[in-house]
Structures are given as structure tokens and as C-alpha cells.
């Protein structure tokens, strides 16, 4: 079965430090890939997506992600963390030929002052 | 920006009772979804709905679950006889089907607690 794996359920970084949240997918055909953010008591908000074309994708709030087919990865990065980035981040895939999206287990990002 | 709205935000029910969770997707969206998130676990797909019928459902979505879009605006999830393990946050989502293809827009969720 196709799956999405997020390494690290909790990640802590200092304010101003690099943020790196890892995501790997399992699929023989590259799916559409997404990163969503969830702030407390809110729904999921799209940060960025990869469908086709450029493998480096820029999203909102200074986040970007790079699709690497050879590594089946779609890691999320931000050069400099801000306190407001503290939230839970979900990687998701939409395999071709299906309506459903498969989510990872989420990574809770903590930003230390 | 238009939003997906869900009601109620929190519902507590007794095991065996019927529950209806309501969602108003973004108007002009064509695809509709229910997902759930059991506390501390991953977001799980339940069902997708397109053109007034279920387009795909997961193994979780058994005969106890049903969805409908009765009036062209509301999209409801019904659980006929709730079980303890149905306690979760239920998210509705919609997708425009064109333009911003395959972007899911989520509501803020309905927390269901089954006692």
C-alpha cells in the first residue's frame, strides 16, 4: 500500500535556525505531494504542493520543498525559523488514479526563543 | 478567502447514538471529502464525493457511515451507531477541481467524543 512517512514526530529548532522536516513517500509513480500546516484548534492549511514541473517548490511563509524522485523524498525547509512557525506539519500525497490523499503522521515543530 | 465551515465544533454522544456532522464546502467546489484524525494519530481518509455520489471510500467507511449532499450546499457525514473508537476529529475538505487542481481546503474540524 502507498504510504507517506514523516521522520520525527517532534522537532525543535532555535529561532533563526534552519527548519528541516522530512517526508518520504512510497509509490512507483510519483504522486502529487503536499505540505499542510495545522495551528492549534484550526484546520489544515496548504503550505505548498508539487504536481509536475520544477522540483523546487516555494510556498507561503518562506517555506519551500524539493521533490527528489531518486530519493522518493519531499522534505520541507525554511532558512530561518520564526516563533510563529510553531505548529504541526503534515506531508501528504495524492497517488495518480485515485481521489484520496494519504497523510503522514505529522511533525510537531517547536521554535525555541 | 472563502472557507469550509463545519458544525458542530465539538459533539459528545453516547455509544450507539447517531451523529450527523455538517459541512458547508466552498461554493463552486466540485470534490468533497471527509477525513478523521484520532488523537495523536495520522489524518485518515474516509470518503470522497463527486457529482453527487461517492467516488472513493476507505475500509474505515463501513455501513455505519454515510454521506450526502442534500441541498447543493451542505455536505454531511452520518454515523448511525457510534462506537468508542469513532472518537476523533473529523475534517471536511473540498477541492475546486480546476485551476487550483488538487488543492484541498479544510474546515476547522468537528471533534466527536463517544462515551
Whether residue A3 lies within 8 A of chain B, CB to CB, comes out as no
pLDDT at B28 over 90: no
With CB atoms and an 8 Å threshold, state whether B43 touches A44: yes
Residues 6+ apart with CB under 8 A from B53: none
pLDDT, tens digit (0-9, with 9 covering 90-100), for B39-96: 878 889 999 999 999 999 999 999 999 999 988 889 999 999 999 999 999 999 998 8
CA A59 to CA A23: how far, in whole Å? 16
Rg (CA), chain A: 13
B17 Cα to chain A: minimum distance (Å): 26
Phi-psi region of A71 (alpha: psi -120 to 50; beta: other; left: phi over 0): alpha
With CB atoms and an 8 Å threshold, state whether B42 touches A101: no
Whether residue A99 lies within 8 A of chain B, CB to CB, comes out as yes
- Chain A positions in Cβ-Cβ contact with residue B42 (cut-off 8 Å): 103-106
Mean pLDDT score, A70-75: 94
Residues 7-66 of A with CB under 8 A from B: 32, 34, 36, 41-46, 49, 51
With CB atoms and an 8 Å threshold, state whether B31 touches A99: yes
CA A84 to CA B49: how far, in whole Å? 35
Whether residue A91 lies within 8 A of chain B, CB to CB, comes out as no
pLDDT, tens digit (0-9, with 9 covering 90-100), for A77-104: 999 999 999 999 999 998 888 878 899 9
B42 Cα to chain A: minimum distance (Å): 4
pLDDT at A28 over 80: no
Return the number of other C-beta atoms located less than 10 Å from residue A64's C-beta.
16
- Cα separations (Å) of B56 from A100, B31, B60, B97? 7, 11, 12, 15
Mean pLDDT score, A21-44: 88
Amino acid at each position: 500500500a502507498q504510504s507517506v512517512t514523516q521522520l520525527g514526530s517532534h522537532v525543535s529548532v532555535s529561532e533563526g535556525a534552519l527548519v528541516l522536516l522530512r517526508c518520504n513517500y512510497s509509490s512507483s509513480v510519483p504522486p502529487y505531494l503536499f505540505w499542510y500546516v495545522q495551528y492549534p484548534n484550526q484546520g489544515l492549511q496548504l503550505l505548498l504542493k508539487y504536481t509536475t514541473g520544477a522540483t523546487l517548490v516555494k510556498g507561503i511563509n518562506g517555506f519551500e520543498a524539493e521533490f527528489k524522485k531518486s530519493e522518493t523524498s519531499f522534505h520541507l525547509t525554511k532558512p530561518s525559523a520564526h516563533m510563529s512557525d510553531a505548529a504541526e506539519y503534515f506531508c501528504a500525497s495524492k497517488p495518480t488514479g485515485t481521489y484520496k490523499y494519504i497523510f503522514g503522521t505529522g511533525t510537531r515543530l517547536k521554535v525555541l526563543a | 478567502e472563502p472557507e469550509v465551515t463545519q458544525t458542530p465544533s465539538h459533539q459528545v454522544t453516547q455509544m450507539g447514538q447517531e451523529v450527523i456532522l455538517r459541512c458547508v464546502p466552498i461554493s463552486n467546489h466540485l470534490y468533497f471529502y471527509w477525513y478523521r484524525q484520532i488523537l495523536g494519530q495520522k489524518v485518515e481518509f474516509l470518503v470522497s464525493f463527486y457529482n453527487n455520489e461517492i467516488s472513493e471510500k476507505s475500509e474505515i467507511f463501513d455501513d455505519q457511515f454515510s454521506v450526502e449532499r442534500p441541498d447543493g450546499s451542505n455536505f454531511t457525514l452520518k454515523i448511525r451507531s457510534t462506537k468508542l473508537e469513532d472518537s476523533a476529529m473529523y475534517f471536511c475538505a473540498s477541492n475546486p477541481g480546476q485551476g487550483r487542481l488538487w488543492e484541498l481546503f479544510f474546515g476547522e474540524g468537528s471533534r466527536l467524543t463517544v462515551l
